[in-house]
Amino acid sequence: MGLSARLLTLRRSPVLLKLPPYLSAACIVVGVVWLLLLPLNEYSRQTYVSENAILPGQVHTYFGGSEHNVFRAFRQEAYDQKDASEGHRNAVLGRIMRESGLKVAEQPYSYYAAGEEIAGTNVYGILQGPRADATEAMIIMAGWKNFEGLVNYSGVALVLTLARYFSRWSIWSKDIIVIISPESTYGPIAWVDAYHSTSPIVTATQNISALPIKSGALQAAVAIDYPVGPWGHRFDKIDIQYDGLNGALPNLDLLNTAVSVASGQMNIGCSLHGISGHKDSYNDRLRTIAAGLATQSLGHATGPHSAFMPYHIDAITLKTVGDGWHDEMSLGRVTESLIRSVNNLLEHLHQSFFFYILLNANRFVSIGNYLPAAMLIAGSFTISALALWVQSGRAPLPEKTPAQPTDEKASALPPMELVKAGPDAALVPKPALQSVDRHLFLPALTLLSIHLASFIPLYLLTHLPRSFLPPTLHALTALSLLLPPTLSHLLPANTRDLQTLQSLSLLLLSATLSTLATLNFSLAFLAGLLASPLAFVRPCRSLPAAVLSYAVLAALSPMSVTYGFAAWYWGRGMGLEGVLAEFARGWEAQGVWTMGVVWCVWWPAWVGGGVGVWGGVFGKRT
């Protein structure tokens, strides 16, 4: 028997047909193990500054001495504004900046999300670099309220002190922009959006005023978050926050420069994700990866710096943590050194990595080493899709004509006689199935409708007022659970058609996740992992089996994961309503896609899987 005939008979070998679920499982297991291996030394690298021009920590810093008195005076002035109105406060902050020689302006903004208004006014000043031609600028900023919503005067006072101090230097080859926003998420987003827009941004959900004065292309931004009591506490470490909106990251060189300035030059330890006491052990590295995965997949802002990443402006927040012996002057010197390093740059940071996973402040994994983990998980869906596709093209042979494919178009296989006549005919299992035509129109149309319908939950959960969100989620959960059995019951389709639908839906999921993996690895990895039951459910012939499969699907569904996530956040006093409102704000005001991925990628695939499960019970037996 020729090779091709052997291969053709292999095509229906029962072993091969049983293989796909194991292959899918293997992909998922290898993907997870892959991630667990990343903390090992073999797969990660020591960070290094690859842009030579940056010269981190090579400059002597002069911030200190008399600046301390200025700092204390500014902090007192800021403290005096604690009960003042925003307008009055901004006037005082603006006056201080103006006295330091900056051009000052204000920018009101408002967002409407989840039925609430988020409004405020940014105040900012531009210090024209003596040697600058207004084509490039760097930013230092602080929020009046930090990311946790606490009012702290020291961060604002330090930024104002630095502005005054910088204004007396003649080394600047770029403009320096100083921004004080009322809070740390929406203020910076509004400011940077307006900076890159030529007119005010007025939509149904946003009213962002244009910026009266602007400078050149933004090179880098450094935010200071100094959460201490009104009269200053000494701190232990600097926590470097780097996650941007939608999981975009700043160039690794900026982060490396900050770390090398802080630890190399100033002897201040650095931490990531607030993990203190990192011992560089396997466990600590894994914890850092997990924290990074969580924030990156959520995609929400993690500080004032997050707003800049969508515009490819490298930005980080330096946040003081712990109780130690470093004071505001050390933080000021770190910022000075960092800003002067950026000032040395002749072009945008581009040498180092934009895609990385950090294990600690000076170890990272680059994209080539971690991307396969998400790709393997996405690949497991492709394998299942192909298996379902093959199965959907097979039907049991009609009873009356056993093993006699008389129908011309019934089979592309070699005639049975040929197979039987072969010398090893005994090895060839007697085929119990015949190949049949698939109907593509109905499954494809249904899949398209499911995808279109997925915009309904997304729209409702992002546009309804806050108090309506929990009941809407409950209703959506109930309807989503009813949808797959109803669809497979009502559709004029047989089990094989529904299997085709399931196959197409898995193929789409796999393609979407592997594309997403290159943009936001964490989101693709976690979404793939949570959706993994979809790779294993098959049409069930018996009702109990279908109920069991469906229960597994329901346990890991977009709805249950939303509830689970909200329950996990309960501790922070947000409750379901607070968490859903936060998601809605993320979608509406921050432009975070995570909700879109959950409802418009995962949810349709989930419904497709459910339809497949019930297809065995409800599919028409034609």
Residue range at the interface with ligand NAG (CB under 6 A); choices 202-210, 294-302, 319-327, 573-581: 202-210
- Choice between 228 and 358, CB closer to ligand NAG: 228
- Choice between 227 and 533, CB closer to ligand NAG: 227
User: Cα dihedral sign for 30, 36, 38, 41?
Assistant: negative
Q: What is the DSSP string of 591-605?
A: ---HHHHIIIIIHHH
Residue range at the interface with ligand NAG (CB under 6 A); choices 11-19, 222-230, 397-405, 447-455: 222-230
Partner residues linked to 179 by β-bridges: 124, 141
Q: How many residues bind ligand NAG (CB under 6 A)?
A: 11
The Cα–Cα gap between 380 and 354 comes to: 27
Q: Minimal CA–CA distance to 122: which of 200, 63, 205, 209?
A: 209
The Cα–Cα gap between 115 and 99 comes to: 40
Please enumerate in sequence order all residues whose Cβ is within 8 A of that of 273, keeping only pairs 6 or more positions apart, or say none. 239, 288, 291, 292, 295
- Choice between 227 and 324, CB closer to ligand NAG: 227
Q: Minimum CB separation from ligand NAG for residue 461, in Å? A: 25
Q: Minimum CB separation from ligand NAG for residue 323, in Å? A: 10
Pairs from 457-460 (Cβ < 8 Å, separation ≥ 24): 457/599, 457/603, 458/587, 458/595, 458/596, 458/599, 458/600
- Choice between 40 and 210, CB closer to ligand NAG: 210
Residue range at the interface with ligand NAG (CB under 6 A); choices 227-235, 258-266, 331-339, 589-597: 227-235
Q: Minimum CB separation from ligand NAG for residue 550, in Å? A: 47
- Choice between 202 and 551, CB closer to ligand NAG: 202
> What mask of x and - would describe binding to ligand NAG in positions 89 to 108, judged by CB under 6 A?
-------------------x
- Choice between 123 and 228, CB closer to ligand NAG: 228
Q: Minimal CA–CA distance to 363: which of 472, 430, 286?
A: 286
Q: Minimum CB separation from ligand NAG for residue 236, in Å? A: 13
The DSSP secondary-structure symbol of 144 reads: S
Q: What is the DSSP string of 568-593?
A: HHGGGT-HHHHHHHHHHHIIIII---
Instruction: Report the residue from 230, 324, 533, 591 that binds ligand NAG according to the rule CB under 6 A.
Output: 230
- Choice between 115 and 230, CB closer to ligand NAG: 230
- Choice between 117 and 133, CB closer to ligand NAG: 117
Residue range at the interface with ligand NAG (CB under 6 A); choices 224-232, 237-245, 347-355, 424-432: 224-232
- CB of 20 within 8 A of CB of 383? yes
266 CB-contact burial (10 Å; exposed 0-12 / middle 13-18 / buried 19+):
middle
> What mask of x and - would describe binding to ligand NAG in positions 161 to 200, judged by CB under 6 A?
----------------------------------------
Instruction: Report the residue from 101, 216, 227, 533 that binds ligand NAG according to the rule CB under 6 A.
Output: 227
- Choice between 182 and 619, CB closer to ligand NAG: 182
**Residue 246 Cα distances to 86, 401, 523, angstroms:** 30, 59, 9
The Cα–Cα gap between 338 and 458 comes to: 42
- Choice between 110 and 362, CB closer to ligand NAG: 110
Instruction: Report the residue from 81, 152, 335, 494 that binds ligand NAG according to the rule CB under 6 A.
Output: 152
157 CB-contact burial (10 Å; exposed 0-12 / middle 13-18 / buried 19+):
buried
- Where does 265-413 have alpha helices with state H? 282-298, 328-344, 367-392
The Cα–Cα gap between 543 and 556 comes to: 20
229 sits near ligand NAG (criterion: CB under 6 A): yes
Q: Minimum CB separation from ligand NAG for residue 243, in Å? A: 21
b/e code 109-139 from CB counts within 10 Å (16+ = b): bbbbbbeeebebbbbbbbbbbeebeeebbbb
- Choice between 152 and 594, CB closer to ligand NAG: 152
- Choice between 207 and 411, CB closer to ligand NAG: 207
The Cα–Cα gap between 499 and 615 comes to: 7
Residue range at the interface with ligand NAG (CB under 6 A); choices 221-229, 377-385, 513-521, 555-563: 221-229
209 sits near ligand NAG (criterion: CB under 6 A): yes
The tokens for 255 are 């982060």
E strand segments, 432-495: 433-435
205 sits near ligand NAG (criterion: CB under 6 A): no
> What mask of x and - would describe binding to ligand NAG in positions 350 to 369, judged by CB under 6 A?
--------------------
- Choice between 227 and 414, CB closer to ligand NAG: 227
Please enumerate in sequence order all residues whose Cβ is within 8 A of that of 479, keeping only pairs 6 or more positions apart, or say none. none
Q: Minimum CB separation from ligand NAG for residue 208, in Å? A: 8
Q: Minimal CA–CA distance to 81: which of 135, 133, 145, 25?
A: 145
What count of residues does the chain have? Answer: 622
The Cα–Cα gap between 522 and 371 comes to: 10
Q: Minimum CB separation from ligand NAG for residue 290, in Å? A: 24
List phi, psi (to 5°) of 345.
Answer: -70, 140
The DSSP secondary-structure symbol of 64 reads: -
Q: Minimum CB separation from ligand NAG for residue 204, in Å? A: 9
Q: Minimum CB separation from ligand NAG for residue 203, in Å? A: 9
Instruction: Report the residue from 15, 202, 204, 412 that binds ligand NAG according to the rule CB under 6 A.
Output: 202
For ligand NAG, the binding residues in 108-137 under the rule CB under 6 A are 108
Q: Minimum CB separation from ligand NAG for residue 207, in Å? A: 4
85 sits near ligand NAG (criterion: CB under 6 A): no
For ligand NAG, the binding residues in 266-295 under the rule CB under 6 A are none
Q: Minimum CB separation from ligand NAG for residue 229, in Å? A: 5
207 sits near ligand NAG (criterion: CB under 6 A): yes
Report CA Rg, the chain.
30
For ligand NAG, the binding residues in 132-151 under the rule CB under 6 A are 150-151
The Cα–Cα gap between 27 and 374 comes to: 10
Residues in touch with ligand NAG (CB under 6 A): 108, 150-152, 202, 207, 209, 227-230
